[in-house]
């Protein structure tokens, strides 16, 4: 088993609650615990520094008590890994109606965790506090009355290896905390690249994979470039307009696909996890998005090394053909499913048309390793997962 790591618990009251006898009604209450997992950074921008990787846990009080007593059922622990722009809590634990994916799985008996990688949310953001450390166009947006300035750190900040190192630290921490050998991983977009690449390198630690619109480069390099870190800047900025309209709304094609109230909640949640970005630039703030170095090691050769049962879900208004290539290249697992969702974009986790289906299908996959009772197949579904075709 991994070495036990010291826990920095922010919500101490929640921990106390888990240890006390609970009434039947209270056992179904969802408990949230926030931690910082100790880690020695391998990020080029702060290599060797002792840092804390932000980790949120969500489980029912009854499940948390079982896990704490060492009664951890296999296959009921999952770690969520965010994508390339937005940190984990707006992605997976959005406090809006019943959109929280973590809460849904927690209420189904899972112990759910979500981490922020370096450069995001409440994890370290090395070299990202200096407004000079971005392009001149972004500098003008963040500080419109300042003169352009040269970056104090003129390189990309992170690498895919530093991401894998952070995931490994957190996975080992969860394995020790909950007494399980394997943890399931759920990744969105760039988080799919990180979790897939990690699963290829640590199959003994991964139970199941759920990849939502995963990034993938079948013809990419297997080895790290020799010249890291590359010249550049460690961050860029993203405005609310760019995220919610330019990247999202322009791809929406169906009526009532997006709840009209959700975008404001998403942006407010993003800003709550970016205290500096929230006061830069326009009144509504800006997102600080890390700019990493070139990626590697998630290609056809490494996709073939994945042995965990793997489900891929993708929106029809995204790039389903790219995810189909990944599905084909997963030759090392005996269980793989690809689902293309109608009326869904890259941001389907926030879309009324499919978020409930994504919750349900993840529950079946992470619990049983099946979809519609089958462990393999290619499917297309209508709104809210309505059956249309597939199974071939």
What is the tens place of the pLDDT at every residue in 210-252?
999 999 999 999 999 999 999 999 999 999 999 999 999 999 9
Tokens 């959109």 belong to 99
pLDDT digits (tens, 9 = 90+) for 243-263: 999 999 999 999 999 999 999
Q: HSE of 317 in the Cβ direction (CA atoms, 13 Å)?
A: 21
Which three-class secondary structure state does DSSP give residue 344?
coil
Contacts with 301 (C-beta within 8 Å, 6 or more apart), sequence order:
222
Task: Please give the Cα distance from 217 to 300 (Å, whole number).
Answer: 8
Phi first, then psi: what are they for 196, rounded to 5°? -65, -45
The whole-number pLDDT of residue 6 equals 39
The whole-number pLDDT of residue 146 equals 73
Q: Is the pLDDT of residue 390 over 70?
A: no
Q: What's the gap between Cα 123 and its chain centre?
A: 13
Weakest-pLDDT range from 19-33, 83-97, 232-246? 19-33
Task: Please give the Cα distance from 314 to 373 (Å, whole number).
Answer: 20
Q: Is the pLDDT of residue 268 over 70?
A: yes
Task: Please give the Cα distance from 261 to 256 (Å, whole number).
Answer: 12
Closest CA to 8 of 31, 39, 40, 45: 39
**Residue 234, in any domain of the structure:** no
Quote the tokens at residue 328: 């084909």
Torsion of CA 266, 272, 273, 275, to 10 degrees: 140
Which three-class secondary structure state does DSSP give residue 72?
coil
pLDDT digits (tens, 9 = 90+) for 10-21: 333 333 333 334
**Residue 266, in any domain of the structure:** no
CA angle 357, 362, 364 (to 5 degrees): 100
Domain containing residue 89: CATH number: 3.40.50.1820
The whole-number pLDDT of residue 69 equals 76
By residue range, what is the domain housing residue 314? 8-130+160-228+298-390
**Residue 233, in any domain of the structure:** no
Closest CA to 63 of 102, 109, 114, 17: 109
Q: How does DSSP classify residue 333?
A: -
- Region 75-88: mean pLDDT is 95
**Residue 138, in any domain of the structure:** no
The whole-number pLDDT of residue 62 equals 87
Please give the mean pLDDT across all residues of the chain. Answer: 91
| Residue 140, number of CB atoms within 10 A of its CB | 15
Tokens 């997962």 belong to 385
Q: 114 vs 57, 144, 283, 292, CA distance in Å?
A: 7, 35, 29, 21
pTM tops 0.95: no
| Residue 24, number of CB atoms within 10 A of its CB | 7
Q: Are 157 and 43 in contact (CB under 8 A)?
A: yes
**Residue 380, in any domain of the structure:** yes
Number of domain units in the chain: 1
The whole-number pLDDT of residue 27 equals 64
The whole-number pLDDT of residue 74 equals 65
Q: Is the pLDDT of residue 341 over 60?
A: yes
């Amino acid at each position: 088993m991994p070495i036990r790591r010291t826990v920095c618990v922010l919500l101490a009251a929640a921990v106390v609650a888990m240890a006390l006898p609970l009434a039947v009604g209270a056992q179904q209450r969802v408990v949230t615990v926030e931690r910082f997992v100790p880690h020695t950074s391998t990020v080029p921008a702060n290599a060797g520094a002792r840092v804390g990787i932000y980790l949120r846990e969500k489980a029912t009080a009854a499940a948390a008590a079982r896990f704490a007593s060492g009664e951890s059922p296999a296959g009921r622990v999952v770690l969520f890994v965010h994508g390339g722009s937005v940190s984990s809590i707006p992605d997976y634990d959005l406090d809006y109606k019943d959109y929280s994916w973590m809460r849904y799985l927690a209420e189904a008996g899972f112990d759910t965790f979500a981490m922020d990688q370096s450069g995001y949310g409440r994890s370290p953001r090395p070299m990202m506090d200096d407004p000079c450390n971005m392009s001149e166009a972004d500098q003008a947006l963040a500080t419109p009355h300042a003169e352009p300035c040269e970056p104090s750190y003129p390189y990309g900040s992170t690498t895919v290896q530093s991401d894998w190192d952070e995931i490994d630290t957190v996975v080992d921490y969860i394995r020790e905390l909950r007494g399980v050998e394997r943890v399931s991983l759920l990744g969105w977009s760039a988080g799919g690249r990180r979790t897939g690449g990690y699963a290829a390198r640590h199959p003994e630690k991964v139970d199941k994979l759920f990849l939502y619109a995963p990034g993938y480069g079948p013809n990419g390099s297997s080895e790290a470039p020799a010249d890291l870190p590359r010249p550049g800047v460690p961050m860029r900025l993203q405005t609310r307009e760019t995220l919610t309209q330019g990247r999202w709304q322009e791809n929406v094609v169906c009526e009532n696909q997006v709840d009209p109230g959700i975008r404001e909640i998403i942006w407010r949640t993003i800003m709550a996890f970016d205290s500096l970005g929230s006061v830069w630039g326009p009144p509504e703030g800006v997102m600080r998005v890390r700019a990493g170095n070139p990626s590697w090691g998630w290609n056809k050769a490494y996709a073939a090394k994945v042995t965990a049962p793997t489900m891929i879900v993708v929106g029809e208004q995204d790039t389903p053909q790219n995810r189909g290539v990944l599905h084909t290249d997963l030759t090392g697992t005996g269980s793989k499913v690809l689902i293309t969702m109608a009326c869904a974009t890259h941001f389907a986790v926030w879309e009324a048309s499919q978020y409930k289906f994504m919750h349900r299908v993840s529950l079946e996959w992470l619990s049983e390793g099946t979809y519609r009772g089958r462990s393999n197949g290619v499917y297309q579904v209508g709104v809210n997962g309505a059956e249309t075709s597939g199974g071939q």
